[in-house]
């Protein structure tokens, strides 16, 4: 990934500890231009569920306020489903290095999600770091495949 990526992190109560750890890592990462915490906050972890956090992150990316988001819930599934409801946003669960790589190089995903109840913390942190290191190649054959989805959405 080129320097200057603008990131969001977020999640629900079930992903709070991982979200906080990944947020801390990203704040120290020289590849990151900015990172914003969308919550849930430490003092009100039940304030939102995965649906609203996922949608809010995706809308911010859609609106050009950030480039990508890393979201954590219990499984990664809920935040992915929510983010994918926003037209133009491609979100996926990624719990292994190959999927995390392909989520960018094949699918040009703007959102990576993970599950705090599924993988270990150190793996989640490593996958987050790997993910921001990938950049989609718009001259690759994958571009036309992603375009099929975008055309359906009208994006």
Name the residues annotated as catalytic. Answer: 73
83 belongs to the binding site for ligand E4P (CB under 6 A): no
Q: Specify the pairing of strand 32-37 against strand 5-11.
A: parallel
Binding-site member from 7, 12, 39, 56 for ligand E4P (CB under 6 A): 12
Q: Which two tokens stand for residue 72?
A: 């954590």
Region near ligand E4P per CB under 6 A, out of 16-24, 39-47, 53-61, 75-83? 75-83
123 belongs to the binding site for ligand E4P (CB under 6 A): no
Q: Applying CB under 6 A, what is the total number of residues that bind ligand E4P?
A: 8
14 belongs to the binding site for ligand E4P (CB under 6 A): yes
108 belongs to the binding site for ligand E4P (CB under 6 A): no
H or E stretch covering 37 = strand 32-37
* DSSP 3-state percent helix, strand, coil across the chain (nearest 5): 45, 15, 40
75 belongs to the binding site for ligand E4P (CB under 6 A): yes
Binding-site member from 74, 95, 129, 142 for ligand E4P (CB under 6 A): 74
CB of 50 to ligand E4P, least distance (A): 5
Separation CA 130–CA 147 (nearest Å) = 25
Say if CB 37 and CB 28 are below 8 A apart: no
Separation CA 90–CA 77 (nearest Å) = 13
């Amino acid at each position: 990934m080129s320097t200057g990526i603008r990131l969001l992190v977020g999640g629900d109560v079930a992903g709070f500890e991982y979200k906080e750890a990944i947020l801390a890592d990203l704040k120290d990462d020289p590849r990151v231009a900015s990172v914003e915490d969308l919550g849930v906050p430490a003092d009100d972890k039940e304030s939102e569920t995965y649906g609203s956090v996922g949608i809010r992150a995706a809308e911010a990316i859609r609106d050009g306020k950030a480039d990508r988001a890393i979201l954590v819930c219990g499984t990664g599934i809920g935040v992915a489903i929510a983010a994918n409801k926003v037209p133009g946003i491609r979100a996926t669960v990624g719990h292994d290095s190959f999927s995390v790589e392909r989520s960018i190089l094949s699918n040009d995903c703007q959102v990576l999600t993970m599950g705090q109840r599924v993988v270990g913390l150190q793996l989640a942190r490593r996958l987050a770091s790997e993910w921001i290191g990938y950049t989609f190649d718009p001259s690759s054959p994958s571009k036309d495949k992603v375009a099929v989805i975008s055309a359906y959405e009208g994006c």
